Every structure is written in C-alpha cells, then in structure tokens.
A = this chain, B = another copy of it.
Amino acid sequence: MSSVILINPFEVLSGQEEQALEQWERVAEYMRRQPGYISTRLHRAITPEPKFLFVNVAEWDSEEAFFQATGTLEFQELTRDAVPHYPALYEVIRR
C-alpha cells in the first residue's frame, strides 16, 4: 500500500497567525510521535492576502495510520478551537 499525502489549508485571519502557528506546532509534535508518520512541511504564503495563510503537506504510511493518529482524545483536545481548516488525504495523479 503506497503512502498518502495529507494536505491541510488553514484560513488564518490577521492577528491570529502566532496563535495558529503555536497550535500547529503542538499538533505536529504529537503527530511526529505517531506510528506511520513520515514527514511534514508547513507552508506559509508569501502572496499578499492569501485565502490560506498556512498549508500543511504531510506524508503518512497509510490512511489507517493517519486515521489512528487523528482518532484519539489527545488529538481532539489538541485541535479544539482551531482556525478553519480543510484537511483531506490525497494521492499524486500527475507529475
């Protein structure tokens, strides 16, 4: 089974950036400890007034590993009151 790509765009209002980044770091620290985690890259927009200031692109061994990591109480607690975000798992279909 090939790995899967999580892409998670975050809508961050001005003034929320620091708080959103701190929360992302707490969640990333948790995710790095989970089985099946491979890598992550948090992107910050350099284009002015982007719809999504942050976009996280992470790689996981499998869908199951990702769902296991995000199905825990700890994850629910860590992601409570998060800024609006639109996570989904993806596969690459064209290069």
Contacts and interface: CB of A to CB of B under 8 A. Distances in A.
Interface of A: 4-5, 7, 9, 24-25, 28, 39-47, 50-52, 55, 57, 63, 86, 88-95
**Among the interface residues A28, A45, A94, which one has the most CB atoms of the partner chain B within 10 A?**
A94
Contact of A94 (B25, B46, B51, B90): B25
B45 A90 contact: yes
Residue among A25, A57, A88 having the largest count of chain B Cβ atoms under 10 Å: A88
- Most B Cβ at <10 Å: residue of A4, A5, A39, A63: A5
Given A46-B90, A51-B86, 10 more contacts: A7-B7, A24-B94, A25-B94, A39-B95, A40-B95, A43-B92, A44-B93, A50-B88, A52-B88, A57-B57
